[in-house]
Amino acid sequence: MSVSLKGFDPEIRQMEKDIVAFFKEKGAEFGGKDPIFMTILAYFYIREKLTQQDLRDLTGFSAGTVFKVIRQLLQFNLITKATIPGTHKHLYTMEQLPVAFSQFYLPASRALLKSEDQLKQMKRELMAHAQEMEGVEGFNDVLAAVSLLLRSVPLALAIFEEIINEAEKHTKK
């Protein structure tokens, strides 16, 4: 059963709103994360089990917006979907931390590794045809962007790995 929206005391509901606002603001400020995505993610962190209707009531977002973010969270393995017995509605549940960590960061690491291979290939192509392409407008910009992304990938991968390790240590406690 979904958590009732009316189930929260007004003072707690206000705290919840403050948390969501903070989550959204800091996610954008420090990580450039999408505010709508962060708003819905924050509600999952707090409420854990929600329907799409709950999220619409809590956030005021349209059905389409809620659905889009739900789809992303499902793809990231951060939430799971189950049908509410006797209805056609779905209940979405946030995976327990730190399980959710590994489920999110491992596919994210795979995506980064794939990107790294593609970036390496691009750099090889750019360097191999540098003489012909050098005069083409945008060559230096594209080369600089590829090189910079290539330098960033190992750091991001290392951070992901450490986060997974730390989360696992917490599980073993």
Question: 83 vs 154, which CB is nearer to other proteins?
Answer: 154
Map the footprint of other proteins across residues 77-136, applying CB under 8 A.
97-98, 101, 106, 108-113, 115, 118-119, 121-122, 125-126, 128-129, 132-133, 135-136
User: Pairing relation of β-strands 79-83 and 49-50?
Assistant: unpaired
Q: Give which of 17, 35, 14 is closest to 26, Cα–Cα.
A: 35
How far is the C-alpha of 23 from the C-alpha of 29, rounded, in Å?
Answer: 10
**In the set 13, 56, 67, 77, which binds other proteins (CB under 8 A)?**
13
Verify binding: residue 45, other proteins, rule CB under 8 A. yes
Distance CA 124, CA 130 (A): 10
Site for other proteins in 52-71 (CB under 8 A): 68-69
Provide, rounded to whole angstroms, the least separation between the CB of residue 86 and other proteins.
26
Kindly state the smallest distance separating residue 87's Cβ from other proteins, in Å: 23
Torsion angle of C-alpha atoms 43, 48, 54, 59, degrees rounded to 10:
0
18 vs 83 by CB, closer to other proteins:
18
Q: Quote the CA–CA distance of 37 and 147 in Å, as a whole number.
A: 29
Stretch that binds other proteins, among 56-64, 84-92, 152-160 (CB under 8 A): 152-160
50 binds other proteins (CB under 8 A): no
Copy the structure tokens of residue 167: 């989360």
- Closest distance to other proteins from the beta carbon of 128 (Å): 8
Which positions ≥6 away from 129 have C-beta within 8 Å? none
